[in-house]
């Protein structure tokens, strides 16, 4: 081989070698932090985490291979806030996924530059999280929860099953403004359905017990529970006390009807968690949250617990049963 040919050959090899090494380098491991606002052993929280994971996998993201997903468990409170602040600082995720308004407000203050995808936040524009639904602006986007008019729907469904109801306590967590969003709508139909809708904020197990006890002192009481991790975390206490006092429950989260509540009507939350994975996928591939429209809920579910209806001596109309998604017997 002539000297010129030899130099050309090794020169070509020198150029080709780095490209071969680059091709063998593993893709950068991306990281997502998911704030669950549930205890780690809570079946509802585990089901939502599984739905989110399935959504990621369908988009090509495999945990431990090209993405690390950190589920941060726990209920909202000062200790949770301090822990989450420290964890997010340590993890430095590429995207943060947040469930509910309370968690979003906390994360918004501490992660002004990190993309955030929210799940189940009611009225995100009115609450000041985003500038608009079609163009959120900033670093936040996601999937909204129930519309304010759902309060009237809960009262309607309640009266169809329990026409004797005259007083309805709308139990919500005052630390979560989104949980109160259906109250004006519920109160607006009070005269139509001959019910008094009572504003019942609760911040502790003792306040929950006192509110239910006050409701049960006279006949004709019932309870409406909008979506909120705080009340969901005390669902066993709430359902046990209301059943003992023969008070029907209409809730927005199926955890209550699984536990023994009468009826659930709300957004299909497992579907929202799976959809949120799609938002995360788009962000990891380069899209900006500012340009990603907020998605409104389109799939709702209604579940009736016939065992509870029987215990409360209520008859569920056949026309209503024909429209439910699931019956618990």
| pLDDT tens digits along 134-154 | 999 999 999 998 888 999 999
Angstrom distances, CA of residue 166 to CA of 36, 169, 257, 290, 308: 36, 10, 22, 46, 19
The arithmetic mean of pLDDT across residues 91-115, rounded, is 90
Q: Looking at residues 163-191, what average pLDDT do you find?
A: 94
Least confident range of 103-107, 166-170, 286-290: 103-107
Q: Inform me whether the pLDDT recorded for 7 exceeds 90.
A: no
Instruction: Tell me whether the CATH fold assigned to 30-145+268-298 matches the one assigned to 150-267+301-328.
Output: yes
Superfamily of domain 30-145+268-298: Response regulator (3.40.50.2300)
Rounded to 5°, angle at Cα 98 from 268 and 95: 120
β-strands 221-225, 249-251: how paired?
parallel
Neighbouring CB atoms inside 10 A of 47's CB total 16
Which residues, at least 6 apart from 166, have a Cβ–Cβ distance to it below 8 Å?
Answer: 194, 195, 196, 219, 220, 221
Q: What is the CA radius of gyration of the chain?
A: 25
pLDDT value at 3 more than 80: no
Residues 6+ apart with CB under 8 A from 94: 30, 31, 32, 114, 115, 283, 284
Report how far residue 49's alpha carbon sits from residue 298's, in angstroms, rounded to the nearest whole number. 21
**CATH for the 150-267+301-328 domain, from 3.50.30.60, 3.40.50.720, 3.40.50.2300, 3.30.70.580:** 3.40.50.2300
Q: Are 146 and 100 in contact (CB under 8 A)?
A: no
pLDDT higher than 50, residue 191: yes
- The two beta strands, 263-267 and 300-305, are antiparallel
Per-residue confidence band for 162, with pLDDT thresholds at 50, 70 and 90: very high
How large a percentage of the chain has pLDDT more than 90?
71
Q: How would residue 42 be classed by pLDDT, with cut points 50, 70 and 90?
A: confident
Question: Does residue 1 have a pLDDT over 90?
Answer: no
Least confidently predicted of 12-16, 43-47, 220-224: 12-16
Q: Is the pLDDT of residue 58 over 90?
A: yes
Which run of H or E residues covers position 118? strand 116-121
Percent of the chain at pLDDT > 70 equals: 91
Whole-number pLDDT of residue 76: 65
pLDDT at 26 exceeding the cut of 60:
no
For the chain, which residues make up each domain, given as ranges? 30-145+268-298, 150-267+301-328
For the segment 117-131, the average pLDDT, to the nearest whole number, is 92
Task: Answer whether residue 77 shows pLDDT above 90.
Answer: no
Tokens standing for residue 120: 């189940």
| Across 170-181, average pLDDT | 89
Q: Which of 174-183, 194-203, 311-320 is predicted least confidently? A: 174-183
Split at pLDDT 50, 70, 90, the class of 168 is very high
Question: pLDDT grade, residue 82 (50/70/90)?
Answer: confident
Q: Look up residue 290 and give its DSSP letter.
A: G
Its pTM stands at 0.85
Q: Which residue has the tokens 């495999």?
A: 62
- Please give the pLDDT value at position 138: 94
Cβ 233 vs Cβ 39: under 8 Å = yes
Max CA-CA distance within the chain?
A: 105
- CA 97 vs. chain centroid, Å, equals 10
- Judge whether residue 216 has pLDDT over 90: yes
Return the sign of the alpha-carbon dihedral for residues 228, 34, 52, 39.
Answer: negative
């Amino acid at each position: 081989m002539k000297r010129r040919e030899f130099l050309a050959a090794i020169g070509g090899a020198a150029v080709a070698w780095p490209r071969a090494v680059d091709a063998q380098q593993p893709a950068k491991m991306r990281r997502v932090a998911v704030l669950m606002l549930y205890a780690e052993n809570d079946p509802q929280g585990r089901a939502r985490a599984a739905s989110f994971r399935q959504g990621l996998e369908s988009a090509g993201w495999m945990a431990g291979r090209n993405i690390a997903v950190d589920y941060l468990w726990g209920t909202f409170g000062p200790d949770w806030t301090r822990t989450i602040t420290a964890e997010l600082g340590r993890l430095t995720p590429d995207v943060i996924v947040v469930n509910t308004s309370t968690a979003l407000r906390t994360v918004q203050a501490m992660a002004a530059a990190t993309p955030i995808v929210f799940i189940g936040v009611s009225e995100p524009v009115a609450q000041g999280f985003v500038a608009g639904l079609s163009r959120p602006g900033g670093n936040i986007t996601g999937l909204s929860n129930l519309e304010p008019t759902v309060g009237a729907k809960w009262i309607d469904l309640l009266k169809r099953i329990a026409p004797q109801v005259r007083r309805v306590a709308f139990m919500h967590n005052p630390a979560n403004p989104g949980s109160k969003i259906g109250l004006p709508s519920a109160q607006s139909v009070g005269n139509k359905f001959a019910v008094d809708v009572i504003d019942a904020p609760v911040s502790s197990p003792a306040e929950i017990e006192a509110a239910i006890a006050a409701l049960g002192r006279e006949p004709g009481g019932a309870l409406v529970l909008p979506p909120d991790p705080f009340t969901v975390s005390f669902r066993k206490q709430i359902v046990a006390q209301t059943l003992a006092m023969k008070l029907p429950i209409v809730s927005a989260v199926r955890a209550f009807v699984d536990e023994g509540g009468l009826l659930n009507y709300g957004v299909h939350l497992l579907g929202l968690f799976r959809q949120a994975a799609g938002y995360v996928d788009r962000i990891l591939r380069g899209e900006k949250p500012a340009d990603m429209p907020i998605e409104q809920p389109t799939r709702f579910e209604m579940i009736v617990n016939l065992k509870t209806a029987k215990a409360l001596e209520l008859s569920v109309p056949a026309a209503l049963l024909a429209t439910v998604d699931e019956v618990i017997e």
